[in-house]
């Protein structure tokens, strides 16, 4: 079926009490894994590409191929540029064919993030492109969560309301104790804050850094308004673990196609598992 829009996918998730998984592809091996998981689970999904992985490809050609593969699957699949850090990157992504983008100004001071995000929204709306933005800082450094660090890093509910109203973004990524990569220690999400953000704004809410969050915490976050969850690290780790195990097991020379197909299968199992936890299985 044709590409589904980011906004429609998130709206359906929000209205039906589940979250859609947004799975990053950095290379072609991940693409069939995610698409076949979605088809088998009858689940909507979002594919994402982070600009840090752009250099692996001739981007317009790569996106054309990704879209052609997406169109062969009969469940709703959207495509999003993940973490565009500058206007130039966003424009490069739009030019190459992304129908939705995430602009990440989260490391900027509030006023600057708001101003730049609003500019990106104006730029994108005229081209019918959806915009996700982020407010607050993900705890990627693994800082100890004291009242001071929480105050500094986490999304402020009042500012979230102001940010959404002033910028007109289609979705808001929040910082509530989540982090990219694997967590250093047990993730501890601030659900009371998430509830207050939900009370203050109707924008669809997004959780980045989904790798390592428990099933119970995912379900609670979804019940409090999270309708998109980003996953990358766990897929990458599952693929790498298979390659490591298989390489150790095989006699030389190692059979490369076996490594690729096994890695693909490992990624697919992670994706299917997440779709069941997020409640998106059977929703297509
Ligand atoms: Zn992210």
State the greatest distance between any 2 C-alpha atoms of the chain, in Å, as a whole number.
61
Q: How far apart are the CA of 140 and the centre of ligand 1, in A?
A: 10
Domains in the chain, please, with CATH?
6-278 (3.20.20.70)
Q: Cα separation of 4 and 30, whole Å?
A: 19
Q: Cα separation of 134 and 233, whole Å?
A: 20
Q: How far apart are the CA of 220 and the centre of ligand 1, in A?
A: 20
Q: How far apart are the CA of 58 and the centre of ligand 1, in A?
A: 23
Helix axes 87-96 and 59-70, enclosed angle (nearest 10): 60
> Look-up: residue for tokens 């129908």?
99
Q: What pTM value is reported for the model?
A: 0.96
Closest to 277 measured CA to CA, from 224, 232, 225, 210:
210
Which parts of the chain register pLDDT below 50?
none
Tally of CB atoms within 10 A around 244: 11
Q: How far apart are the CA of 259 and the centre of ligand 1, in A?
A: 28
Closest to 119 measured CA to CA, from 137, 133, 139:
133
Active site positions, annotated:
82
Q: How far apart are the CA of 207 and the centre of ligand 1, in A?
A: 8
Please check whether residue 277 is in contact with residue 42, taking contact to mean a CB–CB distance below 8 angstroms. Answer: no
SS3 214: coil
Q: What is the pLDDT of residue 183?
A: 84
Both structure tokens of 217: 């915490």
Both structure tokens of 228: 């998109």
Residues 144-203: tens digit of each pLDDT: 888 888 888 999 999 999 999 999 999 999 999 999 988 888 889 999 999 999 999 999
Q: What is the pLDDT of residue 281?
A: 98
Residues 6+ apart with CB under 8 A from 170: 6, 7, 10, 100, 130, 131, 132, 203, 204
Q: Cα separation of 179 and 137, whole Å?
A: 9
Q: How far apart are the CA of 247 and the centre of ligand 1, in A?
A: 31
Q: b/e for 216-232, b at 16 or more Cβ within 10 A?
A: ebbbebbebbbbbbbbb
Element at 227 (helix H, strand E): strand 226-231
Q: How far apart are the CA of 246 and the centre of ligand 1, in A?
A: 30
Determine if the peptide bond prior to 107 is cis (ω within 30°).
no
Please check whether residue 174 is in contact with residue 206, taking contact to mean a CB–CB distance below 8 angstroms. Answer: yes
């Amino acid at each position: 079926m044709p590409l589904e829009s980011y906004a429609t996918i998130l709206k359906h998730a929000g209205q039906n009490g589940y979250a859609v998984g947004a799975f990053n592809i950095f290379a072609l091996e991940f693409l069939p894994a995610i698409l076949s998981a979605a088809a088998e689970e009858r689940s909507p999904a979002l594919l994402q590409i982070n600009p840090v992985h752009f250099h692996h490809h001739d981007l317009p050609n790569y996106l054309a191929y990704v879209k052609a593969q997406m169109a062969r699957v009969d469940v709703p699949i959207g495509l999003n540029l993940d973490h565009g850090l500058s206007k130039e990157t966003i424009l490069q992504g739009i030019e190459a064919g992304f129908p939705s983008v995430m602009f990440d100004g989260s490391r900027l001071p509030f006023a600057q993030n708001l101003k730049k995000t609003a500019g990106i929204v104006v730029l994108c709306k005229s081209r019918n492109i959806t915009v996700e933005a982020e407010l607050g800082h993900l705890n990627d450094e693994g800082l100890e969560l004291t009242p001071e660090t929480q105050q500094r890093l986490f999304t402020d509910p009042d500012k979230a309301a102001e940010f959404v109203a002033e910028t007109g973004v289609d979705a808001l990524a929040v910082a509530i104790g989540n982090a990219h990569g694997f967590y250093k220690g047990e993730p501890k999400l601030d659900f009371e804050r998430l509830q207050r953000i939900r009370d203050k704004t109707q924008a669809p809410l997004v959780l980045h850094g989904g790798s390592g969050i428990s099933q119970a915490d995912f379900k609670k976050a979804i019940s409090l308004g999270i309708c998109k969850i980003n996953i990358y690290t766990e897929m990458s780790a599952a693929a790498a673990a298979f390659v490591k195990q298989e390489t150790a097991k095989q006699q030389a020379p190692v059979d490369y196609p076996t490594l690729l197909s096994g890695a693909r299968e490992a990624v697919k199992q992670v994706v299917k598992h997440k779709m069941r936890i997020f409640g998106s299985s059977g929703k297509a």
